[in-house]
Amino acid sequence: MEKPLHIVFIIQSLGLGGAELSLVNLINASDPSAFRFSIIVFDKILTVADRITRRDVTMVQVPKRGKISWHLVRDLKKILVRLRPDVVHTHLFTADIWGIIAARQLMIPTVCTEHDVNKDYGFVRHLLKRLFSGYPDCYASCSHSVAQFMRQKYGVTKPVKVIPNGVEVKKMGVLPPPNFIAPWRLGLCGRLVTQKKGQHVAIEALAMLKKHSWSLTMVGDGPDLIPLTHLVKLKGLESRITFRSGNMPIEKYLEETAIVLVPSLFEGLGVVAREAMAAGRLVVASRTGGLAESIEDGQTGVLVEPGNTVLLARAIETIFNEPTQTQAMAAAGQAHAQAYFAMDLMVEAYAALYRGLV
């Protein structure tokens, strides 16, 4: 019997985020007889570490000191020599640069997953990504939009395997069905960073719909909590919009929601939208990035132009006025998600990628 391939992930931390959760899900859903995993982190933030169900996972911290940490490659090489991986798989900026350099110097096969379009990166980060774009042996991305961004912004010339983050479709599919009637229960889940997630756009749009009966649960943590709270008060929506911690389980959030808003200004994939669709919730999202790849407008959900409060308000009002059509779209979205968003598809794609490197 062949030994399991040893995959070493390198990532900034295991904080609450899409990249971190995709890593955890990949570990949990992979075949233990085929793959074993270790994780190297730079920070001690381990919010989602307890979601790893496998007990054979090794975790090592390699501290990064300062913005430019010249010792990092040396320290990573020491750990990699000890761990003896078959493949190194990096996630997010610091790992994508220093982790790839360390693995390349040790001649360990590497894969780099890009999780977003990274419009919020500064000049130096974009420059470094371009300078080292030829270092990984192969690339993966969570959507075709991200793959295109990598080619255009970073000059990636190697093939990019598009592997969207998987969703626990069976788990989502057994949640209680939503009620598509007034009072409408809306939800918005994501890190409170308005320059990306666009929560302010949803608040502005909903302020135009006060004549309708609705409530909104906004789930997430982040630097823009106070400005968003002030905006809610300014619009007189304190009794309608409730803020909840980002640690709220996604299942609990979806149980309390019928309509899920994803008003992102840019988005690599939008896993929350996919989870909501798998749970039979109707998703109203921005026509951007992976969201536009996940939803067929008017068939499996609703798409609107990013940042347009008027169009978003009109779309939501149409949903309120047409509950039968709303329910039909939600059902179609759920069927689509069950067929195409399953965790197994992500696991099988990465398994093939790993095997192709050794």
pLDDT tens, residue by residue, 57-106: 999 999 987 777 779 999 999 999 999 999 999 999 999 999 999 999 99
Same domain, 156 and 197: no
* Whole-angstrom distance, CA of residue 46 vs CA of residue 33: 26
Same domain, 346 and 335: no
Return the CATH number at 10: 3.40.50.2000
Same domain, 101 and 126: yes
Task: Evaluate whether 246 touches 16 at the Cβ level (below 8 Å).
Answer: yes
Number of domains in the chain: 2
pLDDT tens, residue by residue, 229-246: 999 999 999 999 999 999
Is 108's pLDDT higher than 70?
yes
Is 54's pLDDT higher than 70?
yes
Residue that has been written with the tokens 């974009």 in this structure: 126
Same domain, 202 and 120: no
Same domain, 31 and 151: yes
* Whole-angstrom distance, CA of residue 138 vs CA of residue 356: 10
What pLDDT score was predicted for residue 1?
A: 63
What pLDDT score was predicted for residue 306?
A: 98
Same domain, 203 and 325: yes
Same domain, 161 and 173: no
Same domain, 174 and 161: no
Is 15's pLDDT higher than 90?
yes
pLDDT tens, residue by residue, 307-334: 999 999 999 999 999 999 999 999 999 9
Same domain, 203 and 280: yes
Q: From 226, 195, 209, select the one nearest 318 (Cα to Cα).
A: 209
Same domain, 91 and 22: yes
What pLDDT score was predicted for residue 70?
A: 76
Contacts of 201 (CB under 8 A, 6+ apart): 263, 265, 306, 307, 308, 309, 312
What pLDDT score was predicted for residue 120?
A: 85
Same domain, 176 and 212: yes
Same domain, 314 and 347: no
pTM metric for this prediction: 0.94
Domain that holds residue 87: 5-166+342-355
pLDDT tens, residue by residue, 157-203: 999 999 999 999 999 999 999 999 999 999 999 999 999 999 999 99
